[in-house]
A and B are shown apart, each in its own frame.
Chain A
Amino acid sequence: MSTLTVNTIEEATTGGATVFTAKAFVNFNGTGTVAIRDEENVSSITDVTTGTYDVNWSNSFANADYLASGVTDNVQIGGECWQIYRTSQVPTSSELRVYSARYASAFDATYFHVIIHT
């Protein structure tokens, strides 16, 4: 494997915008035997309790101010929403807690998808 190390990638057009690449992502099963389906820069996830998971980054970020976004798939029922804990658990540069709820109750989504930009 070869590694390309650069500070900034920009579009080739004049005045092109800086290209921001995702710094990490993870896609995992939230039901049955919890397992990571695919990831980048994730060393593990922790099944904390129903609908609640911690994502542990392989390499820590420079700080805890990264942007996390995500979505859940639920093949059985709809109506779920996805949110990130930012209250009771302090996010750190090495770990993020994610939580899924359906009608305000924690639930295990079939698939979780989390993506990080900085």
Chain B
Amino acid sequence: MTKYRVIFDDPDHLDEPTKVLVPSQNWLDMAMAGNLPPIWVYWQLQDDEQKAIKEGRHKEFRHDPEKHALQRTAPRIGPLTEEEAMEYLVMKDLPRRCWAEEHNRPMFKIVRTEQVPSDRTFRNAWEMAA
């Protein structure tokens, strides 16, 4: 099992509790075996969909078949270390505003699993430590 988690705050919703991203071990294995497409393949799909949402045509939205197929057909990027795979996952699954824009503090951190509390009694009050 992976030893990493990603904790992050959404800059657009700073009043919400800190979120915790839990990677899939199968996905990490795939990344470390070199079976991922370049990250831009996912960004391209996300951009097209976000544009459709903003323009109010999300209900009719379908991905361009050629762009969608690139997830399976684009040349693979080669094996990643577990740490590189975590960075790739941040860029794929975290909102882009968390990591691509400059803020007055870090909006995400890659941490070890044991650093995330297992007691969820006060889950709605979790905040990222400075």
Contact = CB atoms under 8 A, between A and B. Distances in A.
The answer on A and B forming one complex is yes
Contact of B42 (A49, A63, A94): A94
Contact of A58 (B27, B49, B53, B68): B27
A108 B116 CA distance: 16
B92 A43 contact: yes
Contacts of A74: none
Main secondary structure of the interface of B (DSSP, over half): helix
A73 interface: no
A111 to B, nearest CB: 14
Interface stretch (A10-18, A28-36, A75-83): A28-36
B72 interface: yes
Nearest to B30: A58
A43 B23 contact: yes
B109 interface: no
Contacts of B25: 36
Category for how many chain A residues contact B: 20 to 34
Contacts of A46: 19-22, 93
B72 A59 contact: yes
A49 B7 CA distance: 12
Interface string B101-128: 0000000000001001010100110000
A60 B46 CA distance: 9
Contact of B58 (A49, A64, A95): A64
A28 B22 CA distance: 10
A50 B62 contact: no
Contacts of B123: 49-50, 108
Given A43-B27, A44-B93, A56-B93, A62 B62 contact: yes
